[in-house]
Amino acid sequence: MPLALKVYQAFDREPIAELPADDAAALERKLQAAAKAFADRDGWLPAHQRMSILRKASALLQENRDRFAMMIAREGGKPLTDAIIEVTRGIDGLVNAADELRNFGGKEIPMGLTAASANRWAFTTKEPIGVVAAISAFNHPLNLIIHQIAPAIAVGCPVIVKPAATTPISCIEIVKLFWEAGLDERWCQTLITEDNSLAEAFATDRRVAFLSFIGSAKVGWYLKSKLPPGTRCALEHGGAAPVIVDRSANVDAIVGTIVKGGYYHAGQVCVSAQRLFVHEDILDSFTEALATKVAALHVGDPKLAQTEVGPLILPREADRVTSWIKEATDAGTKQIGGGRMSETTLLPSVLLNPPTEAKVSMLEVFGPLTCVFGYRDLDDAIRIANSLPYAFQASVFSTDIAVALRAAKHLDASAVLVNDHTAFRTDWMPFAGRRQSGYGVGGIPWTMEEMAEDKMVVFNQVT
């Protein structure tokens, strides 16, 4: 009997589709096709064709914007307004990858600096690294895929992408648009499976030159440990992003931005604002304003335009977040808001000063929750913010330049956002987790560099 993958709406668990799933034989066929395409160097697509395909795919995605946005809302649970923004970013990201090729090249290596190097001319060129295995996550089921496959297509790597089992349709449909744009199927394929053993075999196959993994740290670091010698990788995980709110901050002006950073996509974002360190001088006014904004968030069906907070991806995730909140409240932590709307949908909540050893203080919640901690000394807040074994993006809100600069210097983060939330991102900026939060650098131009290798050519003048 053929394998099948059932896809459900995140909000109400209603079935969307039953898709054919891949088995080991299908994986082997796809790896063979990709490896064969790469081995034929005469068949590599020239840059102008890759640019044309990326631009055509972008135009096709623009034509299908609303269809993709609705699918993201259905299978991923992201509110429709935010899903439209995700598709819009994807449209631009494809053009970004094409445009980057205008400046994607090598450089001259100086010769003649010693007698031994005289009469030589040397330069580097860029070559694709090889077959790319991309494993993606559910929370941005279109744009994360684009961040993995657009750089591969741009530099000329065959790519096979495995979407999250909960959100495969957006992936399948964007790959179809690439084919419609003129890309031979061998250069961009999907692997549809919920079989973890098959996914591991895919990621660690000797024919894979580069693994792009977005997902849990436990799985990502495990796969990295299993890679064959010579295989390169990039890992993107998460954290518990810290936000420092200085006493000079204008509470009314910033609270909406912080709420967006903490409750966007129900907190299912790897850099979601989670730990809010607020100066004691404004702690009460900030907490009151935060609670008011959070209580006003419209929670419900993500397909509706007015919805601001939708469901978690699975019932077990709602159960997990609920249990973590209970652990904190059982220890005496005050909770503002909260509750459960449905099997997968939690009402947003705020926890005030949970214990440092509580899961909500130590681990990535990935749910509609922020934790507020009061502080008196800035350096103490920074020390606690830096105390976890992972680090990604961080924020500081302040109108005092000295405070902003000190926080920017001392926060352990790959990016410090000043007067903006931790979830801010553009698709052309570097995006990377530190320590346990990741390995390598994301962002379309940066991933293109990771998926390419320099080759040096040296000419010796024969006289």
* Catalytic residue numbers, as ranges: 236, 270
Q: CB of 262 within 8 A of CB of 421?
A: yes
Q: Is 77 left (phi over 0), alpha (psi -120 to 50) or beta?
A: left
Closest CA to 283 of 356, 350, 205: 350
- Cβ-in-10-Å burial (0-12, 13-18, 19+) of 408 comes to middle
d(CA 346, CA 342): 7
Token pair 């974002």 in the structure block, residue: 269
Number of H helices and E strands in the chain, helices first, is 15, 20
267-298 burial code (b ≥16 CB/10 A, e <16)? bbbbbbbbbbbbbeebbeebbebbbebbeebe
- Is the dihedral angle over the CA atoms 311, 314, 315, 316 positive or is it negative? negative
d(CA 29, CA 36): 11
Backbone angles phi and psi of 96, in degrees to 5: -55, -45
Token pair 């962002």 in the structure block, residue: 443
List the structure tokens of 154. 């741009």
Q: CB of 302 within 8 A of CB of 80?
A: yes
Closest CA to 16 of 57, 76, 60: 76
In 405-451, DSSP assigns E strands to 415-418, 434-435, 438-439
Closest CA to 244 of 384, 361, 350, 429: 384
Q: CB of 289 within 8 A of CB of 253?
A: no
Amino acid sitting at position 404: A
Which 3 state secondary structure label does DSSP give 86? helix
Amino acid sitting at position 58: S
